[in-house]
Structure formats: C-alpha cells, structure tokens
Amino acid sequence: MPAPRRRDGAGAVRDRADACPGAWRRHAAADGALARFRPVGGAVAAAELRLLAGAAGNAPLELTSRGSWQVRGLSDQGADDLAVALSGVGGEAPLLDAQGRDVPCSVVASPRTPAADAPARVIADALRGRTDVPGRLLVAVDDGSGDVLGLDADVTVVLGGTLHLAGTPTDVTGDPAALALAAVEAFLAVRGDAWRVAEVGADRVLEGLRPGERFGSSERPEPLTRPEALEVLPRLGEVGAKAAGVLADLADEGAVLRATPWRTVVLRDAPADAVARLDGLVETGRSRWSTLSACVGAPRCARSHTDVRGDLARAVATGRAGGLLPAHWVGCSRACGTPAGPVAVVEGTPSGTYRTVVRAGRVSR
Ligand code: SF4
C-alpha cells in the first residue's frame, strides 16, 4: 500500500482513505473481521466486557495503544450481532449508544481519578456518529497529572490549564469540553484530507479558535489527589476470557475500570482481593513485559515474516527481552503500532531472523 503523498510542509494529500476500523466498519484481517471499540476515556462496563469476551471466543481481547478494545476473527454477522448487543447495554459512557453510534476517534482521559471523566463524556457524546472526524484523530483530557498530556494528542485539554495542539502548548483556556470540541471543529475546517493536526499545523487550527472568551470558564479543579488505584498489565495488551471475566466480576463489585493508552487496565475502588483474583491472568506487579509491545505477526497478519508474539514470549522466557528500553516487535517493515518515544524496533525479516533498529520517535501508520 503506498504511503500518503506529501504536498508540502503544511499539508498532505491522501491517496487513500482513513480506514481505521470501528464498531461497524471492520478491518478484513487474515483471521477474519477485526472490530474496534473506542471507550469514552477508557470506560468499560462489566456487561460490555462480557459481550466483547464472548464474541472473541477462545481468542483474547486486545487493548490498543489508545486504550481501545479490539476483537479479531469475527464473521460479518458476528460483528454485527456484537455491535447490536453493545448498543443495548446503556450507561453513562457506553461503547455504543442506544442508536448504535460509536465514537469516531479516540477520546482518552487520565485514568486514575474521576476528574476527567465528565469532560471526556461530553466530548465523546458530541462526536458520536460523526463521519467527518478521522479515526486517526486523538483527543485527550488530562487531569493535571500530565499522564495523557505526554501522548502529544492532536487535541489535549488540561483541567485548569491550557489547550495543547499536537503536543504544542497554547495560551487558550476555557471549559475543557467546549475547548476540545472547538479545537476539533477548527481542525475539521482546515484539514482537507489530513488526518492529524500536525499535518496541517497547530497554528492553522489555533487561528480558527480565537478569541478564547467563547469557551467558558476554566475552573481550576481541586488540588489533584491521586487515590490508590490498582493498575494491571495484560501481556501485549491481550486480555483472555478468564481475565475479562474476573475484571467484569470486580466491576460488578464496585471497581471502576479504565483501559489506558499504555495498554493497561486501571481499577479504581477495587475490592481488597482484586490482585489475588487477577494474579496469573495479567501482570499485577513489576514485569519484564512492561516495556514490551508487538504487532500481531503471523499467522494473524499475512504480511508477517515471523511468529512475532511466540518468538517474543520465548525471548522473555530466556531473559533475552524485557529491558529498560521499550522494545516493539514486528513482523515486517511496516512496523505497525510502534509507540511514541525512544524505542527499539525488533523487525522480522524474510529469513525468519530479526533485526533491531533504535528509533527516537513515532512511525505513523
Ligand atoms: S507490522 Fe507487518 S506483520 Fe506486523 S501487523 Fe503490521 S503489516 Fe502485519
């Protein structure tokens, strides 16, 4: 597949459409249809988790680098049935609302405190069902801790702080949800065929925002307190059926679940025995897997030269992977899912061996 043609430094001309999968638009992978469900600030309810796990069958659910849930190996009918079932769950921040509308782009939020929940809900509900919002767009609500600010999202609002566009701070303040939505609209007005704010330039988006008074007040939240929250790490973002079942049970017992953009699950108000119940199903403490990520590889991706995840598991077991530097294992040079920041990309080659390239930033795919 050809890469997007660059027109000039400030804009891009795409010769392919944004093909990000969603609840209704699936990606046809080698192992069947792949559906992606974008939570509102990472929120997932027990009933939703059970439906996702049930549809995945023996395969694990996948957490993406934006905190979305993916289900692989679906038939078209099975994918439709799953979306319809999720539309019936309801709740404050459903994956799909009662009209079957999902959120077209990722809306992530600081997962450990409730402060960012409400703005994330307002943003997501305003965008639901929109077809003019690129799936690649990333909107973040940071509670002031800086955790999701570090993602350099296209649009980030910091509670009690300012707007950031593509990682660039601005001096624009306002009600966080109103400000984020205004920034999204300003981007849509100038984006042409671009998918990300960085492609058109933060300055052009900022021009569409002034004057800032129309975004309401920017109330500084109460001093940020970060209550104890349990954070667990599914290896490579894979949540098996048993783990999903325990997480759902814990949610029934009062835990608030948040999928994070670093492929973990945060549990607020988790029962005291949560760690014991999750032990062995996900990583609950220090782990060599915490710096590792991987694409799906063979056999699930037809392009892959190697069994990426199997090879990585063997490397971890023998102490050859899992150091301080983040490493991302991939089955070919497309390097799907390479995380932002310094990372060693361990790339499968046609000979079945791997070569390692240390990269300083993101490879956008
Ligand atoms: S990096 Fe290559 S092998 Fe891995 S998922 Fe992407 S296309 Fe497939």
Cβ 297 under 6 angstroms from ligand 1: yes
Quick one: pLDDT band at residue 339, thresholds 50, 70, 90?
confident
Ligand 1 centroid vs 2 CA: distance in angstroms?
15
Four-CA torsion 295, 337, 135, 66, nearest 10 degrees: 100
Q: pLDDT at position 11, please? A: 44
Q: Tell the residue nearest (CA) to atom 6 of ligand 1.
A: 336
pLDDT for residue 219 = 64
Q: Which helix (H) or strand (E) holds 78?
A: helix 76-87
Name the residue of 296, 303, 307, 346 whose CB sits within 8 Å of the most ligand 1 atoms, as the mutation to test its pocket: 303
The pLDDT tens digits for 256-277 are 999 999 999 999 999 999 999 9
Residue 12 has pLDDT above 60, yes or no: no
Which tokens in the block code for residue 275?
């760690």
**CATH 3.30.413.10 spans which residues of the chain?**
288-359
Q: How far is the CA of 205 from the centre of ligand 1 (A)?
A: 33
| Span 288-359 CATH architecture | 2-Layer Sandwich (3.30)
Instruction: Please tell me if the CB atom of residue 301 comes closer than 6 angstroms to any atom of ligand 1.
Output: yes
Would you say the CB of residue 35 lies under 6 angstroms from ligand 1? no
Q: Is 303 in the pocket of ligand 1 (CB under 6 A)?
A: yes
Q: What's the DSSP call for residue 340?
A: S
CA of 345 to the centre of ligand 1 (A): 12
Rounded Cα–Cα distance for residues 147 and 139 (Å): 13
pLDDT at 214: 63
At residue 82, the 3 state secondary structure works out as: helix
Alpha-carbon distance 16 to 11, whole Å?
15
Quick one: pLDDT at residue 211?
A: 57
In this structure, of 136-140, 172-176, 177-181, 238-242, the range with the lowest mean pLDDT score is: 172-176
Is the minimum distance from the CB of 332 to ligand 1 under 6 angstroms?
yes
**Overall average pLDDT of the 232-241 stretch:** 96
**Ligand 1 touching residue 68 (CB < 6 A):** no
